[in-house]
Amino acid sequence: MSTTTEAPLVRPGVGRGLADVFRDRYLLRLLVGKELKIRYRGSALGLLWSYVKPGVQFVVFYIAMGKFLQLEKATENYAVYLFSGIVLVNFFGEALSNGARSIVYNAGLIKKIYLPREMFPVASVWVSGVHFIPQVAVLLVGCFVAGWRPDWISLLAAVGGFLIIAMFALGLALLFSAINVFFRDVENIVDLLLMVATWASPVMYKWDMVQKVVGDFWFTVYQINPLTVAVELFHRAFWAPTTPGDFSVYSPPNLLTLWLPFGLVISAAVLLLGQLTFRRVEHRFAQEL
């Protein structure tokens, strides 16, 4: 006589969240490869667009802000300052834009087979990371030319800034990709947020310009934005070591002791919110799509 063990009932279409993505990381690599192949299919330059797009953006901003508005006169090595912010904001923008659309764009797969749904936003963020690496390589070359003198704090700031943006972008991608299945207006909302993101963080201007205009209270509100913290951390990591004197005078007060931990906590909270929202509605994706 054979015995059977009753397995607990599991709600269909619901997994263990990001833990399933880590468990099926081989499948994640396949999705990342698929996205890269589709994106550059029929393209003559291919991955070289990772250099061309930020390069053109940098030239436009440098001429408009550095030359026309003469911000380069008030900021030493302004080119390094500008590009270190651009590469991080571009990573955030690409990750959030593609991640928010990832579930709808992969509707065919989602309606046919079951696999961890979080796989699609994570793959979009990963692809953005692939594009982020060559831009950082170009940034490092520029830093060395400008006389980069990094210390261990520079490494801490670079890693901390990237972690803040990666978690923040993934959390928002999970949140917006889930809502976008039910309300396609989300795509336009994300585009509006990204249009503001470059100007709402100190990419082209210095943080003390904001503090002088808005005062200490609103400057604190401004600093709560994880994107602002991450950009300042990248400035501390790549731009500040190219300037003479004490590195601390180029960063907002308590950047490493207060705002770095605070940025990590806020980004982790957004990631948790995105994951909880995603898991709450993912069982309806196939039906809605």
- The pTM assigned to this predicted structure is 0.88
The confidence band for 15, taking pLDDT boundaries of 50, 70 and 90, is: low
Of 22 and 123, more confident: 123
Check if the beta carbon of residue 129 is closer than 8 Å to that of residue 91: yes
Predicted local confidence at residue 2, as pLDDT: 47
Among residues 131, 170, 147, the alpha carbon closest in space to that of 48 is found at: 131
Q: What is the pLDDT of residue 110?
A: 80
What CA–CA distance (Å, rounded) separates 271 from 175?
8
Q: What share of the chain is helix, strand, coil (3-state, %, to 5)?
A: 75, 0, 25
Collect all residues with Cβ–Cβ distance below 8 Å to 66 and sequence separation of at least 6. 72, 78, 79, 82
Cα-based distances in Å from 259 to 90, 203, 271: 22, 17, 18
How is residue 257 annotated by DSSP? Answer: I
Dist. CA 174–CA 276, nearest whole Å: 9
The pair of structure tokens assigned to 176 is 């917006």
DSSP code of 259? Answer: I
What is the Cα–Cα distance from 216 to 223, expressed in whole angstroms?
10
**Cα distance between residue 131 and residue 71, in whole Å:** 28
Long-range contact set of residues 2-9: C-beta below 8 Å, sequence gap at least 24: none
Q: Give me the chain's average pLDDT, please.
A: 85
pLDDT tens-digit readout, 50-106: 677 777 888 888 888 777 877 778 788 889 999 999 999 999 999 999 999 988 888
For 104-126, letters b (16+ CB in 10 Å) and e give bbbeebbeeeebbbbbbbbbbbb
- For 20, 63, 71, 80, 204, the CA distances from 68, given in Å and listed in that order, are 51, 6, 8, 18, 13
Give the per-residue pLDDT at 170: 94
% residues pLDDT > 70 (the chain) = 91
pLDDT tens-place string over residues 144-200: 988 888 888 999 999 999 999 999 999 999 999 999 989 888 889 999 999 888 888
1: pLDDT strictly greater than 50: no
Spacing of C-alpha 274 from chain mean position: 14
Strand, coil or helix: 47: helix
pLDDT-derived band at 289, boundaries 50, 70, 90? low
Listed range (30-34, 56-60, 227-231, 247-251) with the worst mean pLDDT: 247-251
- Quick: pLDDT tens for 197-230: 888 888 888 888 888 888 788 888 888 999 999 9
The amino acid sitting at 89 is: V
